[in-house]
Structure 1
Amino acid sequence: MSRPRTTGAEHIPLAHIKRGIRNVVLRRFDPSRDSYAQLTTMLHLAFSRLGKMGLNCTCVDQDVAVTVRRAQAGDCFVVVSDEKVVGTMTLYASDSESACEHYHRRDVAPIRQLAVDPSWHNRGIGKSLLAFAEHWAATRGYSELALDTPYPAAHLVAFYRRQGFRIVDAVHFAGKVYESAILSKAPVVARTLAAWTHQIALPSARFVRFAA
C-alpha cells in the first residue's frame, strides 16, 4: 500500500525532545538489527493502559506475525535508545480496504502502530514522531495525515488535538468494543530547511539523533 520509498536525504525537525536525553535516535526499522518480537513487546506495554480500560485495541495483545504484517505494509520507524526500541510508528499510503472512508482518499496518509514505551512518556518522543510524520507526508505529496484512537481514551484524543489534529469522523471498526475517533491534519513543512539541524538519510545512514 505504501508509495515508493525515497532514497535521498530527508531533513526533519526534532525540537520537541527534552534536553538532557542522549543516545536516542529515530530511524527506519531494520530487520537485520531490530527485533519484531521486541517491537511487539513494546507495543503491548504502550497499549497496556488501554487494555486495562477494556479497550481491545489491536496493539494490546497482537502476536508477532501481526506486528510484522502491519509494519511491512507501510514505512515502519523506531525510536531507539541504546539499541532498545522505545517508540515506533508505521506510515501508510491511502488504504482503500479500511472501514474508514477518510483513509480511502489518495491524498491522506494514515499512521498506524504509533506508540511510546510508558517509561519514556513526557519526554517529547510522541511529538517528535508526529513532527517527522508530517514531514514524511508533506514531502510525498499528501495533503492530510490521519490516525484513529479510541473515543473513550480521552487523554489520547486530547493529546492529538493539542498537536493540531481535528476529529473528522467516528468509526466502529469490526471486532472492537468501542468507537474510534478519526483525527486528521494538514502536514506542515518548516519554512527553512537550513534551520533543521538534524537529518535522516535513507537508505544509507538511515537514522537521526534527537537533540540532547
Structure 2
Amino acid sequence: MSKHVQRVQSIKVAYVRRGVQPVDIRRFDPARDAFDELTDMLHRAFARLGAMGLDCTCVDQPVSVTRSRAMRGDCHVAVCDGQIIGTMTLEAPDRNSPCELYQRDDVASVRQIGIDPAWQNRGIGTLLLALADHWAATRGYAELALDTPYPAAHLIAFYRSQGFRIADTMRFEGKHYDSAILSRSAVASRALAAWSRRIELPRDVIACAA
C-alpha cells in the first residue's frame, strides 16, 4: 500500500458531555498556527512529569526543538475556539532511531503527544490515537508504537487501556529514566475513513480518556 502523504481535512468532534465546545483535529498549519503556542501547550501538558523529576524533552524544550520534532513527521493538533489543546506527530520508520521497534518497516510511531491539562480526561487522547491508527493503517503499517516514561504509571495505564502492550524497555540517551516502548496493531477506523468532509465521531470513539 502506498505511504504517500494524503490531504486530510479537520474532523469535527461532538462531545457527549454538555458544555464542551466542538474540537477540531487537523494538521498543524504554519500559516495559521504558532510553534510558540504549541510549545507552551506541551510545557503545560508535561509539567506533571517534570514535577515527578522526569526530564522529558517536552518539559522545557525551546520552540526550535518543537518545530524540528514536528517537521520530522506529520504533526496534528486538537483545536478548540482557536486554541491548541492537544497535539501528536506521526512518523514513518526511523532507521536512525536507537529504538529497534521504530526502525521496522511495518511500524509507524507517535511522537511529541500531549494534551493540555485543562482538557485531559475528556477523550482527546483516545481520539488522537484513533486518528493515529487510521493514519498508520491506511499507509500500510501493521503496528503503531510510542514511548512513555516507565515511572509514569498513569500514562502506562492509559495506553494499556487503549490496547497498547509493553514491547520493550530502554533508556534514551541523555535521559535519567527508563522508557516503556508500547505498541498495538494499527486498524483503520470506519469513522475516520471519510476524510473529504468533517465528521462526527461515534460515542465509543470519544469515550473519556486521558
Fold conserved (TM > 0.5)? Answer: yes
Kindly state the Cα deviation for residue 178 of structure 1 after the two structures are TM-superposed: 0.2
Asked if the contact 1:14–1:198 (Cα under 8 Å) also holds between the matched residues in 2, the reply is no
Counterparts in 2 of 1:179-190, with a 5 A limit? 179-190=178-189
Consecutive unaligned residues in structure 1, runs of 5 or more: none
1:4 corresponding residue in structure 2: 4
SS of corresponding position for 2:41: helix
**Which letter maps to 1:5?**
V
Question: Over residues 133-169 of structure 1, what are the superposed CA-to-partner deviations in whole Å (9 max), with x where a residue is unaligned?
Answer: 0011000000000000000000001100010000000
Among the aligned pairs, what percent are the same residue? 56
RMSD of aligned C-alpha atoms?
A: 2.4
Alignment of 1:124-143 (within 5 A): 124-143=123-142
1:149–1:156 Cα contact (<8 Å) kept: yes
Quote the offset at 1:24 in angstroms: 1.1
Alignment pair present for 1:72 and 2:71: yes
Structure 1 length-normalised TM: 0.87
Distance 1:177 1:128 in 2: 30
Partner of 1:152: helix, strand, or coil? coil
Deviation (angstroms), 1:19: 3.1
How far apart in 1 are the matches of 2:115 and 2:156?
Answer: 16
CA distance in 1, matches of 2:111, 2:87: 9
Alignment correspondent of 1:36: 35
| Cα deviation 1:14-66 (Å, max 9, x = unaligned) | 68x54332231000000000000000000000000000000000000000000
1:96 Cα deviation after fit: 1.1
Find the counterpart in structure 2 of residue 101 from structure 1.
100
Written as runs of structure 1 = structure 2, the 5 A alignment for 1:1-212 is 3-7=3-7, 17-20=15-18, 21-190=20-189, 193=190, 196=191, 199-201=194-196
Query: 1:24, 1:12 → 2: CA distance?
Result: 8
Letter in 2 for 1:63: P
Q: What amino acid sits opposite 2:76 in the alignment?
A: F
**Mapped contact 2:13–2:24 kept (Cα < 8 A):** no
The structure whose RCO (Cα within 8 Å, separation 6+) is larger is 1
Cα distance in 2, alignment partners of residues 113 and 187 from structure 1 = 19
Q: Do the aligned partners of 1:198 and 1:209 also contact (CA within 8 Å) in 2?
A: no
- Number of paired residues? 200
Opposite residue 152 of structure 1, the aligned amino acid is P
TM-score by length of 2: 0.87
Whether the aligned pair in 2 keeps the contact of 1:12 and 1:135 (CA below 8 Å) is: no
SS in 1 for 2:30: coil
Q: Distance in 2 between matches of 1:98 and 1:111?
A: 13
